[in-house]
Amino acid sequence: MSVSYMTQEGYDKLKNELDYLKTTGRQEAAAAIAEAREKGDLSENAEYDAAKDAQGLLEAKINGMEKAMSNARIIDESQLDTSRVTVLSKVKIKNTATGKEFEYKLVSETEANIREGKISVNSPIGQGLLGKEVGEIAEVTTPRGTMKFEILSIGI
């Protein structure tokens, strides 16, 4: 069992999406199957096959989300230690080769969204930053080689 650390906001968002999929999503899938079934011979009905496939994907997504929620641990951000990079830390880093600065928040896999500056603690950068202190250099192995990032600040 892998524990997934989340903020209360991330947990609530996941729960709301799961509730939607279990109600509206399932109703829409059932309606699509029923509509395709009405069109006749099921053995050569591509719409029916597609609707059944979509239902299977929906159920797999629901199952995955339920599993993530059952393994979730909600973290109180006010209790976080900012001396080291941990899950839910907001980290300002500088690429030592280019001098470019970035700011990321390390979050669970389910909350990751690069457009919002949220990266997964399981990503290569997330793994490289965990446990580091301000001033330390994090070495991150990527498909393009090893990159070095200096930890400039750690916050919440």
Domain extents in the chain: 4-74, 77-155
- What is the third-level CATH fold of 4-74? Helix Hairpins (1.10.287)
The whole-number pLDDT of residue 89 equals 87
The whole-number pLDDT of residue 93 equals 94
The whole-number pLDDT of residue 80 equals 67
The whole-number pLDDT of residue 121 equals 87
User: Tokens representing 19?
Assistant: 């509730």
Residues 6+ apart with CB under 8 A from 75: 5, 6, 7, 87, 88
The whole-number pLDDT of residue 99 equals 93
- What is the third-level CATH fold of 77-155? Chitinase A; domain 3 (3.10.50)
Is the pLDDT at 29 greater than 70? The verdict is yes
The whole-number pLDDT of residue 31 equals 92
Is the pLDDT at 150 greater than 90? The verdict is yes
User: Tokens representing 23?
Assistant: 């109600």
The whole-number pLDDT of residue 39 equals 80
Distance CA 30, CA 48 (A): 11
Which residues face 74 on adjacent strands? 6
Mean pLDDT confidence for 139-155 = 89
pTM metric for this prediction: 0.60
User: Tokens representing 2?
Assistant: 């892998």
User: 69-109, pLDDT tens digit by residue?
Assistant: 888 888 776 666 678 888 888 999 999 999 999 999 998 88
The whole-number pLDDT of residue 2 equals 64
Average pLDDT of the chain to the nearest whole number: 87
User: 126-144, pLDDT tens digit by residue?
Assistant: 989 988 999 999 999 888 8
